[in-house]
Amino acid sequence: MLSAVAAWLTLDAVSVAPNRIVPGSAYTAREVMDGWPALLLALPMLAVAVLAWQPTRKGLRLALVAVVALLTLLPLWLSAATAVLVESDMPRARVGIGSALWLLLFLLLLALIELRTRLGLSRPMGWLLLVPMGAGWWLALTLWLEPLALLREYQARSDQFITALAMHLVLVGAAVGASLVLASLLALAMRRHAGIRRAGFGVLNFLQTIPSLALFGLLLAPLAWLGSRIDWLSAIGVSGIGWAPAFLALLGYSLLPMVRNIHVALEEVDPAVVESARGMGMNRSQVFLQVRLPLALPVVLEGIRITTVQAIGLTAVAALIGAGGLGTFIFQGLGQAAMDMVLLGALPIIGLALMADALFGSLSERLRPGGAA
């Protein structure tokens, strides 16, 4: 937390520009409102550092309360800074979030995760601790942060954003769903035939070594050729660019973690449990469906978690070949040197990945023997 205090007091916390074209002026937290609110916010950070120096359970609880309070106060401080820095004769002013606020938010979230782990709190409780922060941001964005540059970017492209988000989710869902089906079939075949296992893992490992842009490029020519010669493929939109190469590339990258987890999960079931089931008169199908699969399910869910998080990130690159998705804003923003547009695409991707990780992680924990009830 000492690094958080140093970043908060020395780095730029906010910037103000009269419009989207003119570069903004950066301000540190100490330069806003004569500095005293920044110093007040630094005190709880120092308190968290002191409490974590020689941790006790009571001290960790107090530190957790302080971290949650800081996360809740950050949007309120930004709202107050906006009110001070944006004058009434600046109707198109844009307020940017500086490196100090981003770094502080990152470090506080890391501290929240660490404190949750040390106190033994469940994942759902960890998400519940974020409710005050979410309420603070919702209140600030609704009432006071109209000049926020990120919000203005969203308002100017709200319809495009919804379309891009929907396309992103469709590509991820289709790739993960198809990889789950294919991986299940491959894993079952690998359990029966050692040759298929060696060849399958060899091919899948090779696919993982190909850079994503190179794989997209390799798919352009054959898909364009197929789309121009097969009418029904052309009718569903298969061509050298668009959703088809993006889907196939995502499917290829998703297969290895999915196949590996399913194969390991099925193979690592205790043989004594399987023998007990057979001794009770179960046939092969009953053993698989009622014993082996339920015991393997937590590890299978871990594979789905890894694959989903990976696919959410890789789908951003698919925007380069016209597949749409949230990556569109990232690359448009880079081309225009508009970092707020980049954030409009990057922040939802991070949020989707975190939600997928939390969802499948919680399900996996609950399904493990002795897991959360």
Half-sphere exposure for 145 (CA within 13 Å, toward CB): 26
pLDDT given for residue 35 in this prediction:
67
Residues 41-96 have pLDDT tens digits of: 888 888 888 877 777 888 888 888 989 999 998 898 888 888 888 877 777 888 88
Residue 193 φ/ψ region, left for φ over 0, alpha for ψ in the -120 to 50 degree band, beta for the rest: beta
Instruction: Name the pLDDT band for 222 (thresholds 50, 70, 90).
Output: confident
Share of the chain above pLDDT 70, in %: 98
Distance CA 81, CA 31 (A): 10
Residues 255-306 have pLDDT tens digits of: 888 999 888 888 888 788 878 888 887 877 888 888 888 888 888 898 899 9
Q: Report angle CA 130, 134, 137 to the nearest 5 degrees.
A: 140
pLDDT given for residue 373 in this prediction:
42
Over 80: is that where the pLDDT of 113 sits?
yes
SS3 372: coil
pLDDT given for residue 370 in this prediction:
54
What's the pTM value of the predicted model, to 2 decimals? 0.84
List, by residue range, all CATH 1.10.3720.10 domains of the chain: 158-367
What's the first-to-final CA gap in the chain, in angstroms?
A: 34
Query: 158-367 has which CATH code?
Result: 1.10.3720.10
**Average pLDDT in the 24-48 region?**
80
Residues in the chain: 373
pLDDT given for residue 334 in this prediction:
87
State which of 232-236, 272-276, 279-283, 327-331 shows the largest mean pLDDT.
Answer: 327-331
Instruction: Name the pLDDT band for 174 (thresholds 50, 70, 90).
Output: very high
pLDDT given for residue 311 in this prediction:
92
State which of 10-19, 123-132, 164-173, 210-219 shows the largest mean pLDDT.
Answer: 164-173
Residues 180-202 have pLDDT tens digits of: 999 999 988 888 888 888 888 88
Supply 302's token pair: 């871990």
Distance CA 54, CA 146 (A): 43
- Cα of 108 vs its chain's centroid, Å: 17
Residue 325: its H or E element: none
The whole-chain average pLDDT of the chain stands at: 85
* One-letter amino acid for residue 326 of the chain: L
SS3 87: coil
Instruction: Name the pLDDT band for 369 (thresholds 50, 70, 90).
Output: low
Which residues lie below 8 Å from residue 292, measured CB to CB, with a gap of 6+? 266, 269, 274
Distance CA 317, CA 331 (A): 9
